[in-house]
Amino acid sequence: MTPGDEGMAKILIIDDDSSICETIDLYLTEEGYEVYTAKTGTEGLNKFVQTSPDVVILDIRLPDIDGFTVLEDLREDDENVKVIMITAHHDMDTTINAMKAGAFDYIRKPVNIDELEIAVRKALKSIEMERKIDGLLMEPSRQFKVGDIIGTGREMSEIFKTIGIVSQSRTTVLIQGESGTGKELIAKVIHHNTSPNEPYIAVNCSAIVETLLESELFGHEKGSFTGAIARKLGKFELARYGTVFLDEISEMSLNLQAKLLRILQEMEFERVGGKDKVKVNARIIAATNKDLKTLVKEGKFRDDLFYRLNIVSIKIPPLRERREEIPHLVDYLITKINRDLHKRMLGVSDEVMDTFMKYTWPGNVRELENLLVRAVVVAKGQILGRGDFPDLLEDFDKKPVPVETEDEDFIKSDELLTLDEVEERYIRKIIKNNSNKTKGEICEILGISRPTFERKLDRYGIVFERE
């Protein structure tokens, strides 16, 4: 019972039902808590000021003041107070309103004493964790700016250098990386550092059908096709001296690829149905989550366009290959979410962070941000714990666990090996001990992407014939 100032947790019960007050008081006192009771809202507010309890158990219906008003007054006095509301009303609106008003938990009458104690313990645990890291994640010195790219590893440092170099020119850039790695964020940073006062226009090539995409990119003249009732300027024209970001460039049809190639070669184009040449002044940044070299080999992407786009290439490593940055990302994202949602979340528990560090993150940074947003919205305390990520932890528990690698034929105690030699032996060991698994499953165990796995097989001359 550590949260209380004297080592014993303090509980204040505000309820006009004497039998409920006595029952809860007796039980919690026997459990070692210091308990105070009040029969009215006014008495409860006074005792709250006098006793500074760790947890308040509050009935919604009181004889003098509505329970929601008491909750509001309690939170005005201490916005971090943990209030467990109890009521005989079982309707959805009451529950929603209680949680929106800042209640830590909501329990229906007749009160299940075990359920109530679990709620009290959760509240006290939340207080304990908040006090441990209070001020740590909200230090004034730790300031983040909107749009910052978080990364401390070698690969991300190289990306930052490349951004700095390309921002000094207007050369075409190709950004490659899995979905959710932040390709458009990098495009926006390049744009901001090159021509911040000019338009930034993004086009998702996979979200628009070919016939409309051509008109979107190049514009059209009046009467050039059915429905073209007026001239329309395309994205390349509207961007002026800014940036056109072509996302999912791999989904562009071969016909449009040819037209885009001509733009990159000649820096001019014609509107659909038009004859006049229009000059292109914008920088073109393309992005894809697919391996364009593979698509070129398969005849699905023009090789000449690939080479034109690939003048400067930025490859973003997936999150599972830069796990050391996860704590920094969590810190940054929670700060961002707090600002956007007007919350005061402090961070995640050690257990959650440990899971984050082991998880493979197929959705990368976007998946991490979405999980944190959802958890912050529904969380009852200021520390995100295991219960705030039920789907993630359920999925994680089902993931295959890599086999132990400390047996004598992996690395002998007197061997001095390079990192590459250790990696090669580890990969061979995982493959050997998972002889019934496919390439995709082996990649999950190793925590790397399929292309990375293929490159490592080639590097070490490992034959893996299962698909």
Can you give the CATH number for the domain in which 342 is found?
1.10.8.60
Q: Residue 77 maps to which CATH number?
A: 3.40.50.2300
Say whether both 164 and 304 belong to one domain. Answer: yes
One-character DSSP codes across 60-76: S--SSS-HHHHHHHHHH
Say whether both 175 and 274 belong to one domain. Answer: yes
β partners of residue 87: 108
Q: How many domains does the chain divide into?
A: 4
- Report which of 11, 70, 10, 19 is spatially closest to residue 40, judged by C-alpha positions: 70
Say whether both 127 and 224 belong to one domain. Answer: no
Query: Alpha helix locations (H) across 364-438?
Result: 364-378, 390-398, 419-433
Q: Has residue 144 been placed in a domain? A: no
- 355-412, pLDDT tens digit by residue? 898 888 888 999 999 999 989 988 878 889 888 888 776 655 555 444 343 444 555 5
Say whether both 185 and 263 belong to one domain. Answer: yes
Say whether both 177 and 258 belong to one domain. Answer: yes
CA 2 to CA 199: how far, in whole Å?
56
Say whether both 183 and 257 belong to one domain. Answer: yes
Say whether both 91 and 160 belong to one domain. Answer: no
Say whether both 236 and 383 belong to one domain. Answer: no
Say whether both 175 and 242 belong to one domain. Answer: yes
In eight-state DSSP terms, residue 55 is E
Say whether both 166 and 245 belong to one domain. Answer: yes
- 198-234, pLDDT tens digit by residue? 999 999 988 887 778 888 888 877 766 666 667 788 8
Say whether both 168 and 127 belong to one domain. Answer: no
Domain final residue, candidates 398, 422, 445: 398
Q: Residue 420 maps to which CATH number?
A: 1.10.10
> CA-CA distances (angstroms) from residue 373 to 163, 336, 339, 364, 368?
29, 10, 12, 15, 9
Q: Has residue 2 been placed in a domain? A: no
Domain final residue, candidates 259, 291, 315: 315
Q: Residue 227 maps to which CATH number?
A: 3.40.50.300
pLDDT in tens, the chain (467 residues): 555 444 578 999 999 888 888 999 999 998 889 999 999 999 999 999 998 899 999 998 899 988 889 998 898 888 778 999 888 766 566 776 777 778 888 888 888 888 888 889 888 887 877 665 444 333 333 333 434 577 767 788 788 888 888 888 889 999 999 999 989 989 998 998 888 899 999 999 888 877 788 888 888 777 666 666 677 888 888 888 999 999 999 999 898 899 899 888 988 888 877 778 888 889 999 999 998 999 999 999 999 999 999 989 999 999 988 888 899 899 889 988 888 888 888 889 888 898 898 888 888 999 999 999 989 988 878 889 888 888 776 655 555 444 343 444 555 555 566 677 777 888 888 888 887 888 888 887 887 777 778 888 877 778 777 66
Structural domain range at position 412: 403-467
> Is this prediction's pTM over 0.75?
no
- Report which of 85, 88, 86 is spatially closest to residue 104, judged by C-alpha positions: 85
Say whether both 111 and 163 belong to one domain. Answer: no
